Amino acid sequence: MLTPVNTILVLANVVVFMILSFLGNTTDAEFMAAHGAMDWMDVVEKHQYYRLFTSMFLHFGADHLLQNMLILLVIGCRLERITGKLSYLLIYIGAGLIGAGTSIIFTLGNNPNTVSAGASGAIFGVMGGLLYCIISDIIQKKRHRVEEIGLTGMIFMVASALSYGFFSTGIDNAAHIGGLVGGFLITMISRFVI
Helical ranges in 56-172 per DSSP H? 61-83, 85-102, 120-140, 150-166
Q: Counting runs of H as helices and runs of E as strands, what totals does the chain give?
A: 9, 2
- Catalytic annotation, pick one of 55, 59, 176, 190: 176
Active-site annotation holder among 116, 120, 136, 190:
120
Residue-wise pLDDT for 7-58, tens only, equals 999 999 999 999 999 999 999 999 999 999 999 999 999 999 999 999 999 9
35 an active-site residue? no
Residue 39, SS3 per DSSP = strand
- Give the pLDDT confidence of 95-154 residue by residue, as tens digits: 999 999 999 999 999 999 999 999 999 999 999 999 999 898 888 877 665 656 777 888
* Catalytic residue status for 120: yes
* H/E segment holding residue 116: strand 115-116
pLDDT tens profile 81-106: 999 999 999 999 999 999 999 999 99
**Predicted local confidence at residue 4, as pLDDT:** 97
Which residue, 38, 40, 37, is CA-closest to 58? 37
CATH class as words, domain 4-193: mainly alpha
Domain boundaries, the chain: 4-193
User: Cβ distance 122 to 95 under 8 Å?
Assistant: yes
Residue 56: φ, ψ to 5°:
-70, -15
CA dist 172 → 18, 63, 103, 140, 146 (Å):
23, 16, 7, 35, 28
